[in-house]
Chain A
Amino acid sequence: MEIKIKKENEIELFNDIFYGSCYYMTLFNLLKFYNRNIYRFLAYDTYYYDASYFMRCKKEKRDMDILKAEGIDVVFRSPKEDVVDCIKKSINGNRVAVIEVDTFFESFRKDTYKLKHNPSAILIYGFNDERNIFYCVEHTITNSLSYQTLEISSEDIRLSYKGFVDNFLKDSDLDYCFYDCYLTSDLCRDEFDYKSELMRNLKVNFSLISNGIRELREILEDIFRTVTDEERLNKDISDLIDRTNKFINAKQIDAYRFKDIFLETGELMLAIDDCIRSFNILRVTLTRYRLTRKYSAMNFIKLKENLDDIYSNEKKYIEALKKNI
């Protein structure tokens, strides 16, 4: 028996920007699957610097409430029976399933299969009993924009789901790792004005964003102390690169939502682009060091100019934001 809630050519995939984690990428692909808008997510998130957490995101609405507002209801599952049977039940009930997995057990994931434990989320919209496969939306490389429709074997689904439960569920923020979703209405319940909501949200949280500049100063000073101390740098290099990736990702999200929702092209976009460029230079310098391990104190002292650029570009961004909201 083969059941597909939608045909592949009818499925719109979200690969515009990596939205922080594959959990959100799967939620966005779920919204796209039901032809719903992702903007509500974008409108309610505020990114700001925090010296203890580096980059934080304040969420005005709960994820499941946003889905509900877009006409998608979610039911959490705690499968007592075989997860494969549970997913089939969901699909037989005209629902799509979302499960958390450990990509260590996904045989199509060349970057992690039997190499590295890594959490991910999969959207499942069909199955074929004869071929023992599920029809899924998943990406093929960690943290990449490679979401596509894929056929995944039942065995991979079973093992990778179990892998997540065994290796990640305890330490994750999630209370569940399987839910199914269905449409409650053909149309959204309200006419949501994304731009007004984003502006309102940014206004409400402006002090959080602008106070973040002091936190950023602290973060940058700490980075400078680290890069000018070879021993400390060797110890912290991977964390530093991860942190820099988070800063860049948050800035890319800002760029995406301003371009897409505000249709902004002026001063604000220039300021964001400058922030991204200066963070990118930092990432290049750090990554080059991690690969070559050639320490040159002079190079890292030169990096001070780049760190100062990051700070002044962020200040420009905050000033431009203030004028625009």
Chain B
Amino acid sequence: MTKQEVSKLIEQDVISKCKENNLSIPDKLEYSESLSVYGVDSIILIDLIVAIENRFMFEIDDEDLVSGAFDNISGISDYVLRKCACGEKS
């Protein structure tokens, strides 16, 4: 998958989690914008991460989650692509 494709899927997850939490969210998100701008707090972020883990079928270490890599869609996509690449090699 390309970064663009991964970002698109993550964007859908972000929108869906925001809607579940009654947040108003645009249909198109800026991939480099901090998710906090859309009202994603630490609880919604973990909910989102669980959805991403289920979608891409890998687990994200709790320590990685506080590294700052999950601040925006672009960062999450990079992380997912790195994880997928590791999975393919092993």
- CB <8 Å contact, B66 and A288: no
Shortest C-beta distance, A142 to chain B (Å), equals: 9
Task: Tell me if B13 counts as interface (CB < 8 A to partner A).
Answer: no
Task: Tell me if B57 counts as interface (CB < 8 A to partner A).
Answer: no
Q: Restricting to B42-64, which residues have a CB under 8 Å from any CB of A?
A: 42-43, 46-47, 49-50, 62-63
Q: Could you tell me the distance between the alpha carbons of A285 and B61 in the complex, rounded to whole angstroms?
A: 9
Picked from A144, A146, A241, A281, the residue with its CB within 8 Å of the CB of B62 is: A281
- CB <8 Å contact, B42 and A283: yes
Task: Tell me if B2 counts as interface (CB < 8 A to partner A).
Answer: no
Task: Tell me if A143 counts as interface (CB < 8 A to partner B).
Answer: yes
Interface size for A (C-beta < 8 A) is 21
Task: Tell me if A1 counts as interface (CB < 8 A to partner B).
Answer: no
Interface of A is mostly: helix
- CB <8 Å contact, B22 and A291: no
Q: Restricting to A276-325, which residues have a CB under 8 Å from any CB of B?
A: 277, 280-281, 283-285, 287-288, 291-292
**Which size class do B's interface residues fall under?**
10 to 19
Q: Could you tell me the distance between the alpha carbons of A267 and B36 in the complex, rounded to whole angstroms?
A: 28
- CB <8 Å contact, A110 and B22: yes
- CB <8 Å contact, B22 and A111: yes
Residues of B within 8 A of A140 (CB): 39
- CB <8 Å contact, A284 and B66: yes
Residues of B within 8 A of A277 (CB): 66
Q: Could you tell me the distance between the alpha carbons of A108 and B51 in the complex, rounded to whole angstroms?
A: 28
Q: Could you tell me the distance between the alpha carbons of A144 and B40 in the complex, rounded to whole angstroms?
A: 9
Residues of A within 8 A of B46 (CB): 284, 287-288, 291
- CB <8 Å contact, B50 and A291: yes
Count chain A CB atoms within 10 A of each CB in B39, B42, B46 and give the residue with the most. Answer: B46
Shortest C-beta distance, A303 to chain B (Å), equals: 9
Q: Could you tell me the distance between the alpha carbons of A292 and B43 in the complex, rounded to whole angstroms?
A: 12
Task: Tell me if B21 counts as interface (CB < 8 A to partner A).
Answer: yes
Q: Mark A103-117, 1 if CB is under 8 A from B, else 0.
A: 000000011000100
Provide 6 A-B residue pairs closer than 8 Å at the C-beta atoms, listed in order of the A residue: A141-B39, A145-B36, A277-B66, A281-B62, A288-B62, A291-B47
> Which are the 8 A-B pairs with shortest beta-carbon distances?
A280-B66, A287-B46, A284-B62, A141-B39, A110-B22, A284-B65, A111-B22, A285-B62
Seen from chain B, the residues whose Cβ lies within 8 Å of a Cβ on chain A are 21-24, 36, 39, 41-43, 46-47, 49-50, 62-63, 65-66
Seen from chain A, the residues whose Cβ lies within 8 Å of a Cβ on chain B are 110-111, 115, 140-141, 143-146, 241, 245, 277, 280-281, 283-285, 287-288, 291-292
